[in-house]
Amino acid sequence: MADYTKQELEEALKSHVSTINKCKKALPKLKEKSAQQTLLSRRIKALEISTELIEKELLNLLSQ
């Protein structure tokens, strides 16, 4: 994995959190069981996973 600075990780984390919140806000506006709703739900899950990975990497960076 590439080496990222603390600042890069913090900026990525902030961006992910913002995007997740915007997606969650848009989700109820989509038609039930539509392709768009499914895609957005999967996108939210992927962003949540990557957010956790960024947080773990930040913790590792801070503990060194």
- Please indicate, yes or no, if residue 22 is contained in any of the structural domains: yes
CB 42 within 8 Å of CB 27: no
- Please indicate, yes or no, if residue 1 is contained in any of the structural domains: no
pLDDT: is 50 or 62 the higher one? 50
What average pLDDT does range 10-37 have in this prediction?
Answer: 97
Whole-number average pLDDT of the chain? 95
Tell me the residue range of the domain where 45 lies: 6-63
State percent of the chain over pLDDT 70: 98
Distance CA 12, CA 44 (A): 15
Domain count for the chain, please give it. Answer: 1
What average pLDDT does range 39-48 have in this prediction?
Answer: 98
Distance CA 33, CA 37 (A): 6
pLDDT at 1: 60
pLDDT at 2: 77
- Which residues lie closer than 8 Å to 54 by C-beta, 6 or more apart? 9, 12, 13, 16
Distance CA 34, CA 57 (A): 35
